[in-house]
Amino acid sequence: MTTGQDKRATRAASVLREEILQAGPGTFIGAEDALMSRLAVSRQTLRMAVSILTQEGLLTVRRGQRGGLYTRLPTSESVAHMASVFLRSQGADIEDLTRVNALVAAEAARLAAANPSVEARRTLCDLVEQADRATGSSVIDASLVISRYIGVLSGSPTLTLFTTVLSELARGGYAERILSDSSRIDACRRAHRALARAVADGDQDLAAEVIRKHHERLLGWLGSRRRMVKSSRNLTQTVDG
Residue ranges of the domains in the chain? 4-71, 76-220
Cβ–Cβ < 8 Å for 97, 169 = yes
Report the CATH architecture of 76-220.
Up-down Bundle (1.20)
- Taking all residues of the chain, what is their mean pLDDT, rounded to a whole number? 86
The span from the CA of 63 to the CA of 66, in Å, is 7
Terminal-to-terminal C-alpha distance of the chain: 51
At 78 the pLDDT is 81
The residue among 194, 105, 214 whose CA lies nearest residue 153 is 105
Task: Tell me the pLDDT tens digit for each residue of 67-78.
Answer: 789 999 888 778
pLDDT range class, residue 1, cuts 50, 70, 90: very low
Cβ–Cβ < 8 Å for 218, 154 = no
Amino acid at 20: I
Cβ–Cβ < 8 Å for 188, 145 = no
Burial of 166 (0-12, 13-18, 19+ CB in 10 A): buried
Per this entry, what is the length of the chain?
Answer: 241
CATH number of the domain located at residue range(s) 4-71 in this protein? 1.10.10.10
Task: Tell me the pLDDT tens digit for each residue of 193-235.
Answer: 999 999 999 999 999 999 999 999 988 988 865 554 444 444 3
At 224 the pLDDT is 62
Task: Tell me the pLDDT tens digit for each residue of 133-190.
Answer: 998 778 888 988 999 999 999 999 999 999 988 888 877 566 777 777 889 899 999 9
